[in-house]
Structure 1
């Protein structure tokens, strides 16, 4: 059979291998922690050659960032539709669940911890994950403010820090997010505008 008529499965195999690596990294991080996570262990768990991993990613941090980007997009996407106080509240509740109950949330916490003493991790984490997500979150708050749904006393970045900071702190210290905390944060930080009479 001529090459042009051969089934094209290369991309599918590549995508399957890529996903296997991401899942392996995620699972191994949860099982053994960041310090014990190695590219060799990821390759072994994923069933791919170590050279394949290094062809796609320069380090385990970059693998974990890809995992985090994909998991965040699936589990707590930033709302893109109508920006309401309730949409913001729902987003923050999903973020709290991701941090405290979802094993994939451990990737975010591990990268935050690693970024505290590794400037290269901090830079990559900011450029690839925190920066793009913050842009989306800022746009959400701006749309909600313009729609009269919220009336934040702080600028968008400070308001976002005030909203997510307590959730991240609870997760980093192993504490549960108290029931009603997200609603209280939204009320206190964003002061949703009262409906017009």
Structure 2
């Protein structure tokens, strides 16, 4: 305690550098898109970003956590929450935005690589659900809740199943590649869900 009554304790460690963080995330995002999470390395991120490997490990505990951070910000920004006043229109806009995001070759490679890596990494899987799955599902819940408030769908509609029905076919086509994710496919999936809920326009 100092004479003026203040408690001026010295701060430990150096403050994080936003410039260094940006360089690390940009390098990781580029490597993730080029090679996927399995074939990227912290050493390569350090070399490309010009930031020491020890600095990267102080910020991120694993390659998977770094890859997730590099991916998640842009992926979520590509999918803003629509509010058109109609459930069908909201769902169409949202699923189209997801489609545009995942059809970018770099985004698709990063997305599928992270999903694959999460199968063998429980920490990454938990982070994926928290950082990607839940925020997106939260936006979709909001669209259904608005539809309930407008009287478009019944209040007891099973929103969680509806979201699964929307995303299940989409991820099935993305991960298996057996059929394209076309505009017609998007409209068909949305119309099946809207009809199944008995939505009233």
Q: TM-score range by the shorter chain?
A: 0.7 to 0.9
SS of the equivalent of 1:103 reads: helix
Confirm or deny that 1:156 pairs with 2:163: no
TM-score of the two chains, using structure 1 as the length reference? 0.81
Q: 1:180 aligns with which of 170, 178, 184?
A: 184
CA-based RMSD: 2.6
Paired residue total: 185
Distance 1:33 1:52, change over 3 A: same
- Report the CA distance shift for 1:63/1:81 in structure 2 as closer, same or farther (over 3 A): farther
Query: Following the alignment from structure 2 to structure 1, what is the Cα–Cα distance between the partners of residues 121 and 156?
Result: 34
Rg: which structure is higher? 2
How far apart, in 2, do the equivalents of 1:182 and 1:140 lie?
17
Segments of structure 2 that go 5 or more residues without pairing to the other structure are: 1-13
SS at match of 1:35: helix
CA deviations over 1:6-46 (Å, ceiling 9, x no partner): xxxx98x9222222222211211222222211111111111
Q: TM-score, normalised by structure 2?
A: 0.79
Task: Determine if the alignment matches structure 1 residue 128 to structure 2 residue 134.
Answer: no
Q: Which shifted more, 13-22 or 183-192?
A: 13-22
Q: Provide structure 1 residue ranges, at least 5 long, that are not aligned to the other structure.
A: 1-9
